[in-house]
Amino acid sequence: MARKGSLRRRIVLLLTLAMVAGGVYTAVAFVQRSEVLITERCTAAGAGSAELATDQAANAGLITAVAVRRGLPARAASIALATAMQESKIRNIGHGDQAGPDSRGLFQQRPSQGWGTTEQVMDPYHASNAFYDALVKVPGYEGLDITVAAQRVQRSAYPDAYAQHEVMARAFASSLAGHTPAGLDCSLRAPETAGDPAAVEDKLSAAFGGVAATTEGSTLVLDAEGEMAWAMAHWAVASAKGLSITEVQTEGRAWMREDRNGWQPSGVPAGQVRITVAGSDE
């Protein structure tokens, strides 16, 4: 009888272990499926509300940051974003369309029309600056309808097409320029690779110019406040997918990638923007 009891206990133990393992596997599989089912997107709520894909939002962040760096109003960024959406869907495409066979980049600028070399118009920083160089030469552009101002720069065969993107352009420009605190949010899956604070600093400096920054482990700490703080923070959220950013904090608020609950209260000190990237063990 003792041998039968011992065998019975071993069977019960094996069944219990199998159930536990099965439960762990099911939980892991559920988490994995949940990650796959997440629709990655970025939303902005400024002057209206709108949604972009994550790669579009990252490019919108760059375009707007260049305007901020140049000291241009958010209206300039709105015009640029509406133009880029119409011309390229805010994607840095390497082929032409109706604008011309040699048109390239975010704004479909043509080397044959003096916008720069093919390599230059494919550089988002050059392309954005070239657009603003032309825009600021338009008299009174700040007071023009977005579609009118865009047309003065682009001279498109479809002059009224830019108007359909005004709501999106205003919403993202307002948030990305820092005028709408906590106005931009991105829903993202967990990062697949570790991030690098130095890479974040390089990209941010290229967009905004040199900024005072220090590194604390996996966190980049920037000295900024007010609209500039929010401009940098929203840029970081818009760039989070490509740079494996997991958390952004500023002005008493925090965006946490894994929570997907938007901006929440935070104890971050005033005058700081803190950008944290994924570690190698995440």
Which residues of the chain are under the pLDDT cut of 50? 1-5, 12, 15, 18, 20-21, 24-33
Q: Other C-beta atoms within 10 Å of 67: how many? A: 27
Q: Residues 239, 202: contact at Cβ < 8 Å?
A: no
Q: Other C-beta atoms within 10 Å of 97: how many? A: 12
- How far apart are the C-alpha atoms of 74 and 92, rounded to whole Å? 22
Closest CA to 227 of 273, 168, 261: 273
Which pLDDT value is given to residue 7? 53
Q: Is the dihedral of CA 132, 134, 140, 146 positive or negative?
A: negative
Which pLDDT value is given to residue 24? 43
Q: Residues 220, 275: contact at Cβ < 8 Å?
A: yes
This prediction's pTM: 0.84
The model's pLDDT over 176-223, given as tens digits with 9 standing for 90+, comes to 999 999 999 999 999 999 999 999 999 999 999 988 899 999 999 999
Q: Residues 162, 146: contact at Cβ < 8 Å?
A: yes
Q: What percent of the chain has pLDDT over 70?
A: 83
